[in-house]
Amino acid sequence: MPMNAVQGLGNPDPVLKFNVVVEDQIARFTEVRLLKRLDQGNLYLSHYHVVLTTLFHQTYSSPYTFARAAVNCDWRHAAAKEYLLQHAEEERAHWRWVLDDLGATDYAGLDPRTQPPHTSCQAYIGLNYYIAEEVPVARLAIAAVLEGIGSRFGGMYGKKLLQVLRLKPSQASFFLSHGETDKAHSEELRKIIAQSDFTPQEWTWMNHAALAAGQLYRGMYDHEGYA
């Protein structure tokens, strides 16, 4: 259902409205330059290294923004608070998958741990920290978009990545692993969000965070490094 259809409902259920925002951002992920290259079969190993080094700082910082949001989250949202902390622990070591895949594909560039993040990644990280401080429960909204993207596209594009670049599964552990784990996480997030008692202002921030997450996350797959 397009966003204008929801707006035309007058006063739609806030969960329905939020889910439409999330679904729209998930669907728009296919617009990014990296995936267009992949679909056309003109993706090269250099592009793969660009996306891994771009994503490194996101994977390194994200667990701590989940934990920060959990600490700041009001006990009125106990289920969300506990889930955010649990998710922080689950995501804690995923940055190692990025380094493993770089090493397994003979990456010879600078160690991403010694470099500042790409500006597209910096923008996304900034969103996470801002939300974790200002409206911590809306960190769930950001996660709902990313887990939805991984759940819907991770497996499909992960397999296509192997075919186009002739990689082994062990050389694409980051994308292939997320394609599976994100399915369960996506369902968990939907249930927690649907059961949460958000105020109208919190729903406004949930929608805003989901929209911003989709836009900024796409930027990491759509910048000049894939030209």
How confident is the model over 106-157, as pLDDT tens digits?
999 999 999 999 999 999 999 999 999 999 999 999 999 999 999 899 888 9
In a domain, 2, yes or no: no
In a domain, 184, yes or no: yes
What is the C-alpha to C-alpha distance for residues 186 and 183, in angstroms, rounded to an integer? 5
pTM tops 0.75: yes
CA quadruple 32, 191, 76, 83: dihedral sign = negative
What is the C-alpha to C-alpha distance for residues 49 and 68, in angstroms, rounded to an integer? 30
- Residue 227 makes CB contacts below 8 A (sequence gap 6+) with 33
pLDDT-derived band at 11, boundaries 50, 70, 90: low
Q: How many CB atoms lie within 10 A of CB 44?
A: 12
**Residue-wise pLDDT tens digits, 162-192:** 999 999 999 999 988 876 666 778 889 999 9
Question: Which residues constitute the domain of residue 86?
Answer: 22-107+116-226
- Residue 179 makes CB contacts below 8 A (sequence gap 6+) with 150, 151, 153, 154, 155, 156, 158
In a domain, 156, yes or no: yes
pLDDT of residue 176: 86
In a domain, 49, yes or no: yes
The domain total for the chain is: 1
Query: Residue 42 is part of a domain; what is its CATH number?
Result: 1.20.910.10
What percentage of the chain reaches a pLDDT higher than 70?
93
**Residue-wise pLDDT tens digits, 43-61:** 999 999 999 999 999 999 9
In a domain, 6, yes or no: no
In a domain, 7, yes or no: no
Q: Name residue 146's amino acid.
A: L
Whether the per-residue pLDDT at 100 is higher than 50: the answer is yes
Cα-based torsion angle of the residue sequence 103, 109, 110, 113 in order, rounded to the nearest 10 degrees: -30
Whether the per-residue pLDDT at 6 is higher than 70: the answer is no
Query: Three-state DSSP class for 108?
Result: coil
